[in-house]
Amino acid sequence: MADHAHHAPNPLIGGVDPQFGKATPGKIGMWIFLTTDAMSFSGFLIAYGYLRTKLEWPHPADYLGIALSSFATFLLICSSVSMVLAIESCKHKDRKGMLNWLMATIAGGAIFLGIQAYEYTHLVHQGLTLTSFKDGTSLFGSTFYLVTGFHGLHVLTGVIYLICEYFNARRGDYDHGNYNRLEILGLFWHFVDLVWILVFTFIYLL
């Protein structure tokens, strides 16, 4: 009896965890989507790099809000952590923790979008628009808004996705501890965060 209790399997260790090592159809579909989506972002960033080497390009730090965008980047990274914690709470059937961490993830994404909207408004007032730039080539504004706007659309989609799953969680869909759907959501959200780190580096810092 004691020996059996001592060697009782941990439900979160590989082999016993029902989701460990399994690629569900939903996960496979999300990975396929993210692979193709990564190609789109790669194309945008490669085009940006090519144009920057061929044209007289302004220094981004002279016009873009590096400090504010750094804070937005920090928030998005924190939201990835809260997404992981939401899934861990679901694994342990901690309903309250799962809901709180999902809400924290939603808040992080929503604040990021608010910061991006504020930055766009500020830049337009400074003369940087989608089709014009008072201090240089209009392609500076075009590429900036295209790449960051495309990413912002992903963040908006992710926030809506998170809100839907939050209400599903409140309804009790995850009270049994089956976190597969949350993991699929997590794949998308981590991808969005990773892509922003690359976009922030290429567009703002280099």
Bigger pLDDT: 175 vs 28:
28
* pTM, entire model: 0.83
Query: Domain for residue 182, yes or no?
Result: yes
The answer to the question of residue 28 being in a domain is: no
State the pLDDT confidence band at 104, using cuts at 50, 70 and 90.
very high
In a domain, 88, yes or no: yes
pLDDT value of position 18: 54
Contact 28, 184 (CB under 8 A): no
Domain count, the chain: 1
Express each pLDDT in 140-156 by its tens digit: 888 999 999 999 999 99
pLDDT averaged over every residue in the chain: 86
Q: Quote the domain boundaries for residue 87.
A: 44-205
Strand partners, 128: 133
The closest alpha carbon to 110, from 152, 71, 50, 165, belongs to 152
Assign residue 55 the CATH number of its domain: 1.20.120.80
In a domain, 161, yes or no: yes
* Residue 30 is assigned to a structural domain of this protein: no
Q: Where are the beta strands (DSSP E) in 37-126?
A: none
Judged against a pLDDT cut of 60, whether residue 66 lies above it is answered with yes
Q: Which residue has the higher pLDDT, 16 or 52?
A: 52
Residue 104 lies in a domain: yes
Q: What confidence score (pLDDT) does residue 86 get?
A: 94
Q: What is the pLDDT of residue 130?
A: 85
pLDDT number for residue 101: 95
Cα distances from 155 to residues 131, 172, 193, 205, in angstroms, run 24, 25, 9, 21
Confidence label for 193 from pLDDT (cuts 50, 70 and 90): very high
